Amino acid sequence: MKQILLSMSMLFAMSVNAQDCSELFISEYIEGWSQNKAIEVYNPTSASIDLSDYQVERYSNGTTNSSAGGITALTGTLASGDAFVLTSGETDSASTFGYIDAVLFNMGDMAEPLGSYPTPMHMNGNDAMVLTKNGVIIDVIGRVGEDPASGAWTDDAASGFTMGSWWTAQHTLIRKNTVLYGDDNGLDLFNPSLEWDSLVVGSWNNLGAHTCDCIATSAVNDVKEVSYVVYPNPANAGEVITINANSKIDNIEIINILGERVLTTTATKINTNHLSKGTYIILINLSDGRVIENKIIIE
């Protein structure tokens, strides 16, 4: 116990006080089925950054160091306003760990070596994911040293965010555009709802570009992309689902698995009391004619 406390104290001491728009941070987290795993790192600064000083580390199952979870050193240069994507390298469909979808794999800027273990992208929802610079913590998803009881971190304050509906397992998380720097304290309680928006498992459309108030538009694409959030998703029966987008929403349609339109509304808050449990297709019709299609689950 003394050794664990000492290790955690040293980890805390090695964190730094982040400043607005001054350092890289994790902007997207994909924890999907099989080996559909990815981490996106964003550059909110006004200058290009050499990635050779940075590492992604996995603190697995409540451990207080990354030796069992793996470390991946990043490579290349990340331009101002650009996003860098690290994916799993498990492309072998016969792998005992499972394999990554080819579409997701091809969206990455860097992949971990095929067949390597342990590595950060073998993560599950109960693993704390850490971004470091020269060994110093600059951002954390989860809480180092904690193995959440539900198998993932949640938005339930009463349990210390360790029980309830999953956020970090079988979900995509996107950093809110108002977040200007990373969480450099790996030991504090982790409430994902404060800084992250939750999308259903298998959502990759936003990967490779990030919208942040540090920089008006992402340098990844010249054309402004639609950024949207459907939260919470999955939702418990009776919860209100909120839909937001960075373009004006004209109306929202919800279609059941039989192809029947069960709701059309101009409201951006959906009361699930009127929907049966199950999976639905949601169509977000924007005022400029574009349509966003996603899936929602009522549990």
Q: Which domains does the chain have, with CATH numbers?
A: 2-220 (no CATH), 226-299 (2.60.40.1930)
Length reported for the chain: 299
Structure confidence by residue, pLDDT tens digits, 201-250:
988 888 999 989 998 543 333 334 566 777 788 888 888 888 887 788 99
CA distance 205 to 127: 24
Q: Strand 291-298's sheet: what is its strand order?
A: 261-265, 249-255, 278-286, 291-298
Say yes or no to pLDDT of 127 above 90: yes
Q: How many angstroms from the chain centroid is the CA of residue 295?
A: 17
* Strands lying side by side in the sheet with 196-200: 110-111, 83-87, 37-42, 25-31, 171-175, 196-200
Q: What is the mean pLDDT of the chain?
A: 87
Residue 174, both tokens: 């996107």
**Which 8-state DSSP code applies to residue 212?**
B
Under DSSP, the state recorded for 104 is: H
pTM: 0.70
**pLDDT category of residue 96 using cuts at 50, 70 and 90:** confident
Would the CA dihedral through 91, 97, 100, 101 be positive or negative? Answer: positive
Integer Cα distance of 66 and 14 in angstroms: 14
The C-alpha atoms of residue 149 and residue 157 are separated, in whole angstroms, by: 13
Q: With bands split at pLDDT 50, 70 and 90, how would you rate the model's confidence at 3?
A: very low
Confidence of residue 148 (pLDDT cuts 50, 70, 90): very high
Question: How far, in Å, CA of 83 to CA of 109, rounded?
Answer: 9
Residue 10 above 60 pLDDT? no
